[in-house]
Amino acid sequence: MRIAIKVAYDGRKFHGFAIQPDKRTVEGEILKMLRKKGVIEDKARFQYASRTDRGVSAMGNVISFNCRGNAVRVLENMDDIWIVGYAKVDEKFNPRYCKSKIYRYYLYNDGYDVEEMKRIATLFVGEHDFSSFARIDSRNPVRKIYDIKIENRGEIVTFDFTGKSFLWNQVRRMMGAIMMAGRKKVDENIIREVLHGKKRMNFGVAPPENLVLMDVEYDNIVFNPVKSKKLLTTASFFEDLLERAKCINIH
């Protein structure tokens, strides 16, 4: 049987998603648990939708593998990794071939011009060569951004980037330019020229800890939700912590 599982994880607790020798990674911890419980063999065709960087979290990354037994139950009690959904899939299913991925960046608003950031973000929508806004490897640097939604929540501003695929550091480098524009340190014309390859400029890379892979979407696959006891407990703790912080006067 082949299964697809939506996983959430706290990226601050791992050295990235992909397995690395002698380092704690999301993939490494999942494989260790599955093998320990005898759910998979070496030829399990373990695959994933996104290889998130160190510090980047997820609410809906997708893994898939061939297994026997109840893989969901086996993975429910992991630390810093939570199972949020599952689906039985075709033997040929590869989670990389998705309809879209949605990344969200959380930014604390300590004086940014949000309207200017909204205007600048529209420059990246559509199909572009993102060579100047990514860490380039052997892959084609042309990518298509379907949409960028920005929500001003007062102290926090969220940026949702939707596309079929992204390059290494692409969202964080786009955010670097958007944040500079929000500080009035760069204008639209310069960002446009860099995007179109007419000018070179380093806008910096936004910190990874604020970036979250929100979801990976597919055609014709419906995930069954999983209610994680550990996740609910952790979420309740932070909700109470935020409420507690509002009641404390700091002198």
What gap in Å lies between CA 86 and CA 17, rounded to an integer? 19
Angle at 73 between CA 71 and CA 76, to 5 degrees: 110
Identical fold, 2-98+219-235 and 100-211: yes
Provide the annotated active-site residues. Answer: 53
May I ask the CATH class of domain 2-98+219-235? alpha beta
Q: Where are the domains of the chain?
A: 2-98+219-235, 100-211
pTM of the model: 0.93
Q: Which of 5, 75, 76, 66 is nearest to 221 (CA)?
A: 5
Q: What is the mean pLDDT of residues 35-54?
A: 92
Indicate the CATH number for domain 100-211. Answer: 3.30.70.660
Whether the pLDDT of residue 43 is over 80: the answer is no
141-161: pLDDT as tens digits: 999 999 999 999 989 999 999
Looking only at the bridges linking them, the beta strands covering 57-66 and 211-217 are: parallel
3-state helix, strand, coil in the chain (%, to 5): 30, 30, 40
| Token code pair at residue 226 | 């999983």
Q: What pLDDT score was predicted for residue 47?
A: 97
